[in-house]
Amino acid sequence: MSSQLPSFLRIELLSDATFSRGGGTPGVVDIEVEHDDYGLPFIGGRTVRGLLRDAWLSMHRYFPELEPAAVRVLGKNRALDESCRLRVGDALLPAPVREAVRRAVERREPSPLPPETILAALTSIRYQTAEERETGAPAEVTLRSSRVVLRGLFFDARLTWLSDGAPADPASAAEDRRLLALCALAVRHGGMLRNRGRGHLRVTLDGDLELTRRWAGGAA
């Protein structure tokens, strides 16, 4: 039985998505997305781990045999310490894109590309308002804007497996891999305003949907 473990998690946006940074940009949007100093959107590692944990909590009763693997991979429920063996990095755009953007923003000649231009090219702004319950008309002073990352983009989050407490045999490693594959396939939505059709996701291990499905079924 193979003890191979995945090295990254791929998150594909099947619809526009808003992974908020917890505030807005004054004069631009009320709800801003996470992005770096170059204007590149990303999804924080803690957010990604939260999606995986929520997925497991929704299905754990059907896979009691994987509870030990869940503790090893995701940690104990509500535990404040980092006792699990898996570390999930920030989900970033592909390295060639990040490098090209870095060069464009840092160049001197021709004039550098502003990070705001990068962010605008990869996102859009959506507007919504609340409705009056009695009339169905837009409620006054409720118009809010939020930025969305455009569908079709994908992000990769590095997976680091700690050696301390690692499974002693390939069978345990296969259980850890199966647990993570099941959680990845169960993550279908993420971010804000999911009830408005945003944040439809496809999550795979090592960017391979068929491989993820095989691993979820317990294949070596």
Residue 110, pLDDT above cutoff 80: yes
The pairing of strands 201-205 and 144-149 is unpaired
- Give the model's confidence band at 88: pLDDT under 50 very low, under 70 low, under 90 confident, else very high: very high
Query: What is the chain's mean pLDDT, rounded?
Result: 87
> What's the pLDDT at 104?
95
163-210 pLDDT per residue, tens: 654 555 778 889 999 999 999 999 999 998 777 778 999 999 999 999
Residue 51 covered by a domain: yes
> What's the pLDDT at 129?
66
Average the pLDDT over 141-150 and give the result: 81
Residue 63 covered by a domain: yes
Residue 130 covered by a domain: yes
Average the pLDDT over 112-124 and give the result: 95
Residue 2 covered by a domain: no
Cα Rg of the chain (Å, integer):
20
How far is it, in rounded angstroms, from Cα 141 to Cα 149? 25
Residue 69 covered by a domain: yes
Residue 3 covered by a domain: no
Residue 14 covered by a domain: yes
38-47 pLDDT per residue, tens: 999 999 999 9
Full domain range(s) for residue 90: 8-216
> What's the pLDDT at 80?
47
Structure tokens that stand for 79 in this block: 């535990």
**Domain count of the chain?**
1
Residue closest to 148 by CA, chosen among 98, 114, 113, 191: 191
Residue 186, amino acid: A
> What's the pLDDT at 170?
75
